[in-house]
Amino acid sequence: MTGWTMTARTGAAAHGRQAPVGARLASLGRALDALRRRPSVEVKRALLVAGATGMGLGLVIIVLGWYGAAHSTYLFQEIPYLISGGLLGVALVAGGGFLFFAAWLVRMMEDNGRYAARVEQTLARVDRALDAITADAARAASAGTNGHDADDDRPWRARPSRPAETGAHPGDGA
């Protein structure tokens, strides 16, 4: 069975024939693009709605459990209210709180992705600026002059355009 392969387009078995690698990669790329599409339901919104619903329903169940237990005269009638109302309500409130926390985490991950993209863009601009400065310095060095005196090895230091005047200041009456 070594000569049998599945073709990418038809799914039928072909003896000895195989689609070219480029065609198979293109088909794989189209399949992956279909998988990468954003879901129709936003995860953050779904978590927020489920969390709010769970917490609200849990609070209602707790109040109903309390109401049933408070208006019962016998202990054996109060216990089912406390179990169903109290424990189920607390579980729903806690579960809803966890879903809210998960929605917050999703929001933080989205924000961090945006911030990371901004940092990456800023670093790319800094790299381009440094490359331009390096290229300018290389051109100046190849031209034989680097824009400053030979005895001064600090090209960024501003040189005065005229020598400093010595003597009396104009305000001294001179």
* Bigger pLDDT: 118 vs 151: 118
| pTM to 2 decimal places | 0.49
Measure the CA–CA gap between 69 and 82, rounded to whole angstroms.
7
Q: What is the pLDDT of residue 151?
A: 53
pLDDT digits (tens, 9 = 90+) for 87-102: 999 999 999 999 999 9
| SS3 per-residue string spanning 19-55 | CCHHHHHHHHHHHHHHHCCCCCCCHHHHHHHHHHHHH
Measure the CA–CA gap between 119 and 128, rounded to whole angstroms.
14
- Location of structure tokens 């800094």: 126
Q: What is the pLDDT of residue 135?
A: 93
Q: What is the pLDDT of residue 150?
A: 53
Q: What is the pLDDT of residue 163?
A: 53
Measure the CA–CA gap between 62 and 81, rounded to whole angstroms.
9
Q: What is the mean pLDDT of the chain?
A: 79
pLDDT digits (tens, 9 = 90+) for 4-58: 455 445 544 455 567 788 888 888 888 887 777 766 678 889 999 999 999 999 9
CA dihedral of 64, 67, 70, 73, whole degrees rounded to 10:
-90
Position 147 confidence tier, pLDDT thresholds 50, 70, 90? low
